[in-house]
Structures are given as structure tokens and as C-alpha cells.
Amino acid sequence: MLPAPGRRAAARAVGRPGAVYLWLGIIVLSWSLNWPLMKLALADAPPFAFVLLRLVGTLALLVPAMLAMRAPLAPAAGERLWLFWVGQLQVAAFLLCAIVGLSILPAGRAIVLAYTMPLWAIPFELALEAQRLRPRQLAGAVVGFAGLLLFMSPAEVDWTSARALGGNAMLILAAISWAAGSILYRRRSWRSGFWAQTLWQIAVSTPVVAVIALPSLLTEPIRWTPALVAILAYNCVVTTALGYFLWNKVLSVMPAGIAGQVVALTPVGGFLISTAIFGGNVTADVIVSIVLIVGGIMLTLRG
């Protein structure tokens, strides 16, 4: 667990805690839009190749920018191994599992399953952290999770299709990996800057993704359409570089389970955007689930 002095130092390092809601708002809006965009991009690029291009493009942008700012490219020596494992969990494992699930399932359902992260993060934190949730926070978590489960619509799963079940399983594994990486990040205080942490996590994840993506790169062509280039640019700049940078800042001042509950708004936005692009109905159970998710978040944050 991050010691109290470490938590206070982290909070001072990133500014007033109120800014965390701005960071979360940017994350929710940008990641909501990205899932329907990635679904469109998979028509032009194999799933693993898309993830590799996303990471390589992000590195190609970050390294020159950080050199120009004279910012260190690597974290402090004693923090690199720990951040290596954080990167493997919340970058490599999450992105690889999520893109496989997205290639199988509709974007609206895929984003909901991937963002069950708080369902796993809060039990992990309760097991590892000495501090327990306050009653109002716990009530908010229960209400929010009920809405998330309703939003997942288990009745709509094709339980007879191995492919569909596999896609669902990969997205749940992505959520578990993200939760584990976030909890691991919260387990210590950091001396390195957030940009160095972000670059390192992406850099150590890229070789792993490259090895997995190599067979598809050799056998499946990439169609370099204007849409694919635009979506990759958005992924490199906004959802990967800026997204992971802001997520690290959020985790420095807020537990992963509570932050994850706020980020649970992402499936709502992603579902509505996906419905607008690909079609679909906004039913009564979807409206009820959105009300529960938002209500749970408000209860948790007020707690």
C-alpha cells in the first residue's frame, strides 16, 4: 500500500485533487469515442497489427517530444521493473485481449465488458489495502455494479457459440488485467515523472505485442485507407499517449476501484456512439442501467 506521506506527495505533485475530475472527464470522452472507431479500423487492419501500429506510432510521437522538452525517457532505475509489470498488465494484456474481443463482438457490448474493471479492482483493493470503503462508498459501488451488470445484458449472450463465448472471455480478461495493473501501480509511490512512466509502459509492452502480431503481419495485408490512418493518429495521440498519462495521474490521487467506477461511464458513451454509427435500440433496461451507474458514481464520490 502507498504510505500516507507518499500519497500526499503524489497529490502535491499533480496539483489540486479537484483536477482529477477533469482528467477523468477527458479519459471518458476520448475512450468512449475510440471503441466504435477501432471497430471501424479492424476492417482495414488485423487486430494484433492494429495494436502494434498504435503502440509504435505512440512511441514515434512521444520520444521526439520528450527529447525536445528535455524530459527523461526512462523512469528511475529502481522503478523500471515494477513499471514493466504494470505495463504488461494494463497496456499489453489489456489492449491485446480487448482487441480480440472487439473483433468478435459488437463494439457496444465489447466496451461494456472491457470496462467491468471496477468489478475486479474493488475486491482486489479490499484484499490488499488496509483502508476499507466507507458505507456510502460501498453502497455506491453496489448500485453502480448493479447497473453495469444490467448493462452487460447476459441474456443476449449466445451461450451456444464458442466464438462468442471466447470473445466475451477475452474482454473480461482484459478488464481483469487492467484492474491488476492499476492495483499494482497503486502499491508504491513514484519519483519518476508521469511522461517517463507512460513512455516506459508503452515501450516495454511493444516488443511483446510485436511478437504476437508478427504472424498476422506476414499473412494478412493492411489496407492503408484514410480512415485507418486517421483512427491510428487518434489512438496514438489521444487514447494512448494522453490517455495513459492521465490515467497514471488519476491513480496517483484516487484508488483504482473508485476511479474505475467513474470510468464506467465510458461504456455508456461508447454504447450510445456505437448505436448511432452501427444501429441498435436504446431500450428501457439500458436507460435504467445508466441511471444506476451514474447514481452509484455519485454515491461513491460523495462518500
Each residue's pLDDT expressed in tens, for the chain with a length of 303 residues: 344 344 444 444 444 467 888 888 888 888 888 888 898 899 999 999 999 999 999 999 999 999 988 888 889 888 999 999 999 999 999 999 999 998 888 776 787 778 777 777 777 777 766 556 667 767 777 777 777 677 666 666 667 778 888 888 898 899 899 889 988 888 888 888 889 999 999 999 999 999 999 998 888 889 999 999 999 999 999 999 998 899 888 888 877 767 776 777 777 777 777 777 766 666 676 677 777 766 776 666 555
What distance in Å separates the CA atoms of residue 274 and residue 197, rounded to the nearest whole number? 32
Q: Do the Cβ atoms of 293 and 148 come closer than 8 Å?
A: yes
The answer to whether position 103 is within a domain reads yes
- b/e for 277-294, b at 16 or more Cβ within 10 A? eeeeeeeeebeebbebbb
The answer to whether position 4 is within a domain reads no
The answer to whether position 6 is within a domain reads no
The answer to whether position 139 is within a domain reads yes
Q: What is the pLDDT of residue 14?
A: 42
Domain region containing 208 = 34-302
What distance in Å separates the CA atoms of residue 42 and residue 102, rounded to the nearest whole number? 9
With the C-alpha atoms ordered 160, 163, 164, 167, is the resulting torsion angle positive or negative?
Answer: positive
Structural domains of the chain, count: 1
The answer to whether position 28 is within a domain reads no
The answer to whether position 3 is within a domain reads no
Of residues 286, 290, 265, 280, the one with CA closest to residue 25: 265
CA angle at residue 199 from 255 to 230, to 5 degrees? 100
What distance in Å separates the CA atoms of residue 89 and residue 230, rounded to the nearest whole number? 27
DSSP 134: P
Q: What is the pLDDT of residue 199?
A: 93
Q: Which residue has the cell 479500423?
A: 41
Q: What is the pLDDT of residue 172?
A: 86
The answer to whether position 268 is within a domain reads yes
Q: What is the pLDDT of residue 182?
A: 87
The answer to whether position 2 is within a domain reads no
Cell for 212?
Answer: 504476437
Q: What is the pLDDT of residue 137?
A: 67
- Length in residues, the chain: 303
Cell for 252?
Answer: 496517483
